[in-house]
Amino acid sequence: MSDSVPIWLLVLTTLAGCAITKAETGGLVAADGRVFFLPPKYPGQEYGHGVSLVVDPRFGVDIRDGRHKLMAEPFYRLDPVDDRRSHADVREASYKLAYRGGKLGLGVGQLAWGVLESFRPTDILNQTDFVEAVDGTAKLGQPFVEGGWGNGKVTITAYYLPYFRERTFQGIHGRPRGAVAVDTNHPQFETALKQWQPSGAVRVAVHAGGVDLGIALFSGYSREPRFILQLGDLSVSPRYELMHRALADIQWSKKGLTLKAEGFFCIYSDALILFGGGGGGLDYTFFDIGKGVDLTLVAEVLFDTRPDNAPLTFFKHNVFGGVRLAVNDRGNTELTAGAFVDFLDGTTWGRFEAKRRFGERWQVAASVNVFFGQQGTIPGAFNRDHYGQLRVAYLF
Amino acid sequence: MKTALCLALLCSTAYARSTDELVAAGTPEQKAQAVLDEMGHRNAGWRDFTADVQMSLQDPSGGNAERSFTVKLLEKGDSGDQSLIVFSSPSDMKGTAVLSHASASGDDEQWLYLPSSHRVKRISSGNRNGSFVGSEFSFEDLTSADARKYRWQYTGQETCGTAKCLVLSAVPKDASSAYSRRVIVVDQELRVSRVELYDRKAQLQKTLTYADWQKVGRYDRARTWTMKNAQSGKATTLHFSTMKLDSKYVAADFGPDKLGN
C-alpha cells in the first residue's frame, strides 16, 4: 500500500503534464467603509457607520486549451453593524467541458441572463444577494448542471438547478432596509421539497446578422419572494412560490450605438397570477472625446405589470439615465453616474461611483447612493438611507 | 472546398513564385494583387492560432506600463477571422475578455466579458480605430485587415538589409478608417516586415515593425511587434510567446455564449 501511487497524484500529474494547463488567480480583498448621511428611521436600525471586510478571491484552471475548466470563487463579508450582512457564499465552484461545440458543466456558478445596463428583469437563474447590493447586481452561487450544443450561430443550453437559494436580507440593525426586517429564519415554501425543489430551464441563443437573440423557458421557484406578515409577532417572512416564465432578450449594435431589449411573461401557478415585464433602451459611446476619454450615455425604460399580490419589484415604471466616463489612463479611472426615476410617482434612486487603480495591485472606489420618494414606495422606504462608501481593495 | 484549399496550398508551396516574378509585369494594381494573392496562398490554412502576449507601453517621459493577455484566433477565410483576447494583467483587468468577429462586409461585432459582474456585454465596435487598452495599437492594427477593404498599388522596391523588399500602398475604401493610407513593406519571404500608417492629414502617424521571426508549423510568425507613434513619441511593443497552431477550435469556441465560461 505504501509504495502504490495514490490515484489523485496520478490525475494531478497527468493534468499538470498536459501541454496547456494554465492556472490563474484573481479577485480581491477589500475594506468597505460606509457612512450614512441621516439617522435611521426604523426601530432596531443602527446608524450604520462602519468598515466591513470582503474576501472575494478567484481561482481558475484551464486544461487542454480551455477544453476543461475548473473555477472557484469563495466569498465572505464581515460586517460590524449588521449580522445578516456578514455572510459567506460560494459564488462559483464548477467544472466545465467544451468540446467540438458540445458543452457540459456542473457545480455552483453564476448563470447570468439579460442584456440591459440598469436592471435585468430576465436575470432569474441566480438568487439575488440583496445584502450585498440592493440593485440586484450581486448574485448567490447557484448549484447547476448544464448541457448544451452550439455551432457559433445557434446555441441550445438546458439547465437543471437542483437546489434553491434563499434571498439574503438586511437584519434588524441593517441599512438600507424596509420598515420591518425580513425574518429569513422562517422562510415559507409552496412545496414540501422546500429548498430541494428543483428548477429547470432551456435557452436558445441565436447570433446572426449582427443581432444577438435569446429565448428561454424557466420553471421552478421564483427567486423573488412574496412577503407574508405573521400576525402573531408582526414579523415578515419570505414566501417562495412556483413560477413558470418565458423570456427573451435581443441586442444589436452599429458603430457607437447598441440597442437592447428584454422581456418576460410569467405565471405563478398556485395563485394563478399572470404578468409580464421587461425593458429596453440604448447606449451610445462617444470614443475619444479628448485625451482618449470615452463617454457612454445610457437610456433605458423598465416596466412591469405585476399585481399587488405578486412579489414586490423596484422597477414597475421607471426610466434610467446613466453616464460612464472611461478615462483610459494608467489607473483605468472610471466614473459612472445613473438614476432610476419612477415616471408615475417620481421616486428616484441615484448613484455615483468613481474608481481607479493605484500601482499594480490597489484599487480605490468611492460611491454614493441616494433615495428619494414617498412612503409606500421602495425608494421611499429607503429615503433616509442615503449612504457613501469608500472601498480600498487589494487585487490578486 | 477543403480539397480546393489544400490544392491551392500545395500549388503555392510547390511553385512558390519569387518576389521578382510577382512584380515583373502589369499595372501597379495588378502587381500589388499578384503579391497579395501569393501572400494569401502562403498564409491560408492555419485554422487557429494561440499565443501569450506581453504588452509594454513606453512614453517619451520614461513612463512604462505592462499588460499581458492571451490571444486566440480562428481562421474564417472570406467571412472574417474571429479573435478572443483574455487579459491576465494589470490586476483590475484580469479575466476581462474581448471577443471580436471581423466581417468582410459591414461592421465587426464585439463582446466584452467582465469577471467582476460575471456578464457578457455586446459592445459597439466603433472603437476599432481608438487606442486598445491605452496602447499605441488600435484594435484595427492588432487584427488582420481584410485586403478587400483597400485599393492596392505596387509602388516599388526598397533595400532592407542585404535584400530588396517590395513596397505596397493601400488606401481604404471606407472613408471612416483612421488612416488615409498604409505603406506595407514585404520582404523576400513575402512576410510583412513594416507597416507605415498615415493619418487623415496624410502625415506619418505610426510605424509598425515586425521582427524575431519564428516558424510556427509551416508559417512565419513575428515574435516582436513594435508600434512607434511618430507624432507623440510613444511606443508599444508586443512580445509573443508559446505560439501554437491548430488547437482544433471550432466556431462554438468563439461564440458570445462561450465568453466567461
Q: Half-sphere exposure of B4 toward its Cβ, with a 13 Å CA cutoff?
A: 1
What DSSP line would sit under B192-229, residue for residue? EEEEEEE-TTS-EEEEEEEEEEEEETTEEEEEEEEEEE
ipTM over 0.90: no
Architecture of domain A21-395: Beta Barrel (2.40)
The answer to whether the Cβ–Cβ distance between B131 and A328 falls below 8 Å is: yes
Q: Which residue of A has its CA nearest to B65?
A: A330
- Here the cell at position A34 is 460606509
CB atoms within 10 A of CB A3: 4
Q: Which of B50, B131, B252 faces A101 most closely, judged by CB atoms?
A: B252
pLDDT of residue A206: 94
For residues B137 and B98, give the distance between their C-alpha atoms in angstroms, rounded to a whole number.
15
Q: Which of residues B93 and A16 earns the better pLDDT score?
A: B93
pLDDT of residue B24: 78
For residues B176 and A256, give the distance between their C-alpha atoms in angstroms, rounded to a whole number.
13
Q: pLDDT (tens digit, 9 = 90+) per residue, A79-114?
A: 999 999 999 999 999 999 998 899 999 999 999 999
Percent of chain B with pLDDT over 70: 91
| Interacting residues of B51 by C-beta distance below 8 A, sequence separation 6+ | B70, B71, B240, B241, B242, B243, B244
**Residue B105 pLDDT more than 70?**
no
**Cα distance from A99 to chain B (closest Cα, Å)?**
8
**Cα distance from A229 to chain B (closest Cα, Å)?**
34
pTM (two decimals): 0.88
Q: pLDDT (tens digit, 9 = 90+) per residue, B110-162?
A: 899 998 888 898 987 777 777 888 889 988 788 766 778 889 999 999 988 88
pLDDT of residue A15: 53
pLDDT of residue B2: 38
- Here the cell at position B63 is 513612463
Mean pLDDT estimate for chain B: 85
**Taking CB atoms and an 8 Å cutoff, what residues of chain A touch B74?**
none
Question: Distance of CA A199 to CAs A162, A215, A283, A361, B244, Å?
Answer: 6, 17, 33, 40, 42
The answer to whether the Cβ–Cβ distance between A98 and B65 falls below 8 Å is: no
| Interacting residues of B172 by C-beta distance below 8 A, sequence separation 6+ | B149, B150, B151, B179, B180
Domain ranges of chain A: 21-395
Residue B188 is part of which domain span? 2-258
User: How many residue contacts between A and B have a Cβ separation below 8 Å?
Assistant: 131
- Here the cell at position A11 is 490525475
Q: Which residue of B has its CA nearest to A288?
A: B130
The answer to whether the Cβ–Cβ distance between B118 and A251 falls below 8 Å is: no
**Residue B190 pLDDT more than 50?**
yes
pLDDT of residue A1: 42
For residues B121 and A123, give the distance between their C-alpha atoms in angstroms, rounded to a whole number.
14
**Residue B108 pLDDT more than 90?**
no
Q: Find the chain B residues whose C-beta atoms sit closer than 8 A to any C-beta of A.
A: 50, 63, 65, 88-95, 106-107, 109, 115, 117-127, 129-131, 133-134, 244, 247, 249-258, 261
Contact in structure between B65 and B133 (CB atoms under 8 Å): no
Q: pLDDT (tens digit, 9 = 90+) per residue, B45-92?
A: 889 999 999 999 998 887 788 999 999 999 887 777 899 999 999 999
Of B129, B126, B168, which Cα lies nearest the Cα of B147? B168
**Taking CB atoms and an 8 Å cutoff, what residues of chain A touch B244?**
20
Percent of chain B with pLDDT over 90: 42
- Here the cell at position A82 is 449588521
3-class DSSP state of A224: coil
Q: Which residue has the cell 469556441?
A: B253
**Taking CB atoms and an 8 Å cutoff, what residues of chain B touch A103?**
252, 258, 261
DSSP label at residue B31 = H
**Residue B21 pLDDT more than 90?**
no
> What is the phi/psi pair of residue A109, to 5°?
-155, -175
Which pLDDT band, with edges at 50, 70 and 90, does B1 fall under?
Answer: very low
Regions in chain A scoring below 50 on pLDDT: 1-3
Residue A357 pairs with which residues in a beta bridge? A363
What's B67's domain CATH number? 2.50.20.10
pLDDT of residue A174: 93
Number of domains, chain B? 1
Q: Which of B119, B134, B250 faces A330 most closely, judged by CB atoms?
A: B134
